Every structure is written in C-alpha cells, then in structure tokens.
C-alpha cells in the first residue's frame, strides 16, 4: 500500500498544527492520518525537529530481548509463530532457569545493551511462573541493567509483585487499532490489553507498548493504532514499532509487504505524536537495508533491539549494528550518560 500524498496547502496546515504542540487536546485519527500523508521531506523535517528538542539525535538506546518461555502459547495471534494454534515449527519449551537468564543478561550487557527484556509465550503467568520471573528481575537488575518483561495479561497482585522486584518497564503491545484487532486475534479482547496497561501504570512501572504494521491494515487503521498510543495519559515511555515478520505456518505468512517508506512514515508520526517516548525500531529490522534503517533514525527512532534473536525470529547481528552505528556517527545512549 503506497501512502497517498495530501496537497501542499494541507500539509503546511498540519505542520503548523503540530508545531504548536498543544498537549491539552488528544490526537484525532483524521489528524494522524493526515500526518502520515504529508510530503516525505516535510514529515521527516518536523519529526527531526521534535526529536532534537527532547533527545540527543545521535544516541540510540540498546535493548536485548530473551525468550524465557518459548512456544505453546494459548493465544491465536495471527502473526505469532509461538501460538499453539499455528504450525510454524516452534517447539513448546519449559521456562529457562534463573541462572541461564542472568548469564544471557550479562552477555548482553558486555555487548553494550543497557536494558534487558524477558518475554514469555503464555496468556498470563501462573503463581509458579511469577515466582521465577520475580527472581529473574531481581538478579538482572542487580547487574545494573534496566529491566523489562512481557508476560501477557497481569492481575493487580502480579503487577505489584513485579514492581516490588524492581521491574522498570512492562511491555504489552496493542498490536493494532481496535477496529482491526479482531482480524488478527480472537482469544483476547482489546480491552484486556488496555486493562493490563492500566494496572502497570497504577503499580508505578513504566509502560512499553506499540504495535505491528504491515498486517493488512488500512492507512486509517494504522493511524488509529498511533492515536490509541498517543492518547494514553500519559503515553508510553517506550514505543516499539514492528514491521510484520512473515513466518511460514502463521495466518499472515502470505501478507503483502509494506512499502519501506510507509514504515518510515509510521516511525516519524510516532515521534511527532509522542515526543518524549523512546521510539524503538523493532521486529522486521533484519529485512531492512542500512538505508531504510538510517531513514528510521532520521525520522525519530532512538531505540533498537540489539542481538541475534527476537524471541523466535532473527535480528541483525551485533557486529552489523555496530558497523551501521559507526557509519551514521551514532553511539549507544549508555555511552553518553
């Protein structure tokens, strides 16, 4: 799907609107859709202005993600090879031992990562699961790293357990807009996701929440996802933007590719609508050229998943990431702070 371009006069009107940065009013879907349709140079110019107002434009935050429990998930997310509903060849494995997780975290830290994310393939953690995860969080935090977990839905008691353990961020993606959600997932309601995020906020932890583009959504639906995120009060501190990784055996395996420049536009609009968030260039980066990744950084992305693996799909190797950062004159956020 190629993004249509709105007329120059309308483009100027919307650039002026976002320049006012009126945070007292929420973002309407129509406004975000219009931003997505700005001339490419105008859109990136405004995104870069906002990025520079709040961040060092050459610093990137490095996170490493480890799957602590792989496969056998009881959710039917159409993009996910870990779902028990799909035949994507992902083995259902038991949860890793705490020692294995700490070893992986130390290796990630030695490679330059400053945040360590632990992901589990289940609908929600059991009491036994939580006891192990709490210990993992404590041990990883003791290394001096920021901690993040993505464990599915949480209860009030579970969010309090994670907060007490010292968890910094909880990831729970909205995936897409409410209007398109039923096309992708049937085992969980959209409100379930919102309720978990509300519990995370109430417990006092930072929110990491984003979505996936390229799943067949319309431009309006893509704008709707960003509106959902940007209109949270407050919006997430960390916003991962994923480009669908098509995995054989999942319902979305034959989905058409999103235009790379449309993906860059999504990054730019996330930056404009959520000025102080860490906008993370996430899944799908392995398939992107260095040039597309560079445009994403120019558009306001300032966080990446760093390492060889993203749960069950590949990720650019550390050496390739370092080489790209060197070419762009970029450096890890932790090196400057």
Per-residue model confidence as pLDDT tens digits over 273-311: 999 999 999 888 888 899 999 999 999 999 988 765 444
Contact 225, 176 (CB under 8 A): yes
CA 275 – CA 298 distance, rounded (Å): 14
- Dihedral sign for Cα atoms in the order 266, 181, 123, 162: positive
Which tokens go with 259?
């235009």
At residue 125 the predicted structure's pLDDT band, cuts being 50, 70 and 90, is: confident
Supply 17's token pair.
């609107």
Of 80, 222, 265, 296, catalytic? 80
What mean pLDDT comes out for the span 90-103? 83
Would you state the structure tokens that stand for residue 53, as one six-digit string?
């107002």
Helix (H) or strand (E) holding 242: strand 238-243
Q: Annotated catalytic, 148?
A: yes
Catalytic annotation present for 296: no
pLDDT number for residue 309: 47
Q: Of 199, 271, 280, 285, which one is the catalytic site residue?
A: 280
Quote the pLDDT of residue 99: 92
What is the overall mean pLDDT for the chain?
86
Alpha-carbon distance values, 245 to 14, 87, 250, 256, 337 (Å): 32, 16, 10, 11, 33
Tell me the per-residue pLDDT of 42-70, one tens digit each, with 9 for 90 and over: 999 999 999 999 999 999 998 888 888 87
What distance, in Å, lies between the first and last C-alpha atoms of the chain? 40
* pTM for the full predicted model: 0.86
- Tell me which of 188, 199, 208, 271 is the catalytic residue: 208
Per cent of the chain over pLDDT 70 is 85
Q: Check 20, 46, 115, 148 and give the catalytic one.
A: 148
- pLDDT average, residue stretch 303-329: 73
pLDDT band at residue 225 under the 50/70/90 scheme: very high
280 is catalytic: yes
**With contact defined as beta carbons under 8 Å apart, do 172 and 150 qualify?**
yes
The answer, yes or no, to whether residue 243 has pLDDT greater than 70, is yes
| Distance, C-alpha 4 to centroid of its chain | 25
Of the residues 73, 271, 285, 296, only one is catalytic, namely: 73
pLDDT for the residue 248: 82
Average pLDDT over residues 215-235: 95
122 close to 129: Cβ distance less than 8 angstroms: yes
Residue 199 pLDDT:
94
- Given pLDDT bands bounded at 50, 70 and 90, which one contains residue 15? low
Sorted by sequence, the CB contacts under 8 Å of residue 263 that are 6+ apart come out as 213, 214, 241, 243, 284, 292, 296
């Amino acid at each position: 799907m190629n993004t249509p371009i709105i007329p120059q006069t309308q483009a100027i009107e919307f650039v002026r609107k976002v320049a006012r940065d009126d945070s007292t009013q929420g973002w309407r879907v129509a406004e975000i859709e219009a931003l997505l349709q700005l001339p490419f140079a105008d859109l990136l110019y405004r995104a870069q202005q906002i990025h520079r107002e709040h961040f060092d434009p050459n610093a990137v935050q490095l996170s490493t993600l480890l799957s602590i429990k792989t496969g056998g998930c009881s959710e039917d997310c159409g993009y996910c090879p870990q779902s028990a509903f799909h035949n994507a060849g992902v083995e259902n494995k038991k949860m890793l031992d705490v020692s294995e997780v700490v070893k992986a975290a130390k290796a990630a830290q030695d490679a330059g990562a400053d945040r360590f994310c632990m992901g589990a393939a289940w609908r929600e953690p059991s009491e036994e699961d939580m006891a192990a995860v709490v210990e993992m969080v404590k041990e990883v935090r003791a290394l001096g790293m920021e901690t993040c977990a993505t464990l599915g839905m949480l209860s009030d008691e579970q969010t309090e357990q994670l907060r007490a353990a010292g968890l910094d961020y909880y990831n729970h993606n909205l995936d897409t807009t409410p209007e398109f959600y039923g096309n992708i997932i049937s085992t969980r309601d959209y409100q379930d996701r919102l309720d978990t995020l509300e519990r995370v906020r109430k417990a006092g932890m930072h929110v990491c929440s984003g979505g996936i583009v390229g799943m067949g959504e319309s431009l309006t639906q893509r704008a709707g996802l960003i509106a959902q995120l940007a209109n949270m009060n407050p919006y997430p501190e960390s916003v991962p933007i994923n480009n669908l990784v098509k995995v054989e055996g999942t319902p979305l395996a034959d989905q058409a590719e999103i235009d790379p420049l449309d993906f860059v536009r999504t990054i730019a609009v996330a930056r404009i609508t959520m000025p102080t968030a860490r906008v993370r260039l996430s899944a799908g980066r392995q398939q992107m050229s260095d040039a597309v990744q560079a445009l994403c950084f120019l558009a306001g992305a300032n966080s990446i998943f760093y390492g060889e693996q993203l749960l069950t799909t590949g990720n650019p190797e550390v050496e390739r990431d370092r080489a790209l950062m060197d070419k762009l004159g970029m450096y890890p956020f932790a090196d400057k702070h």
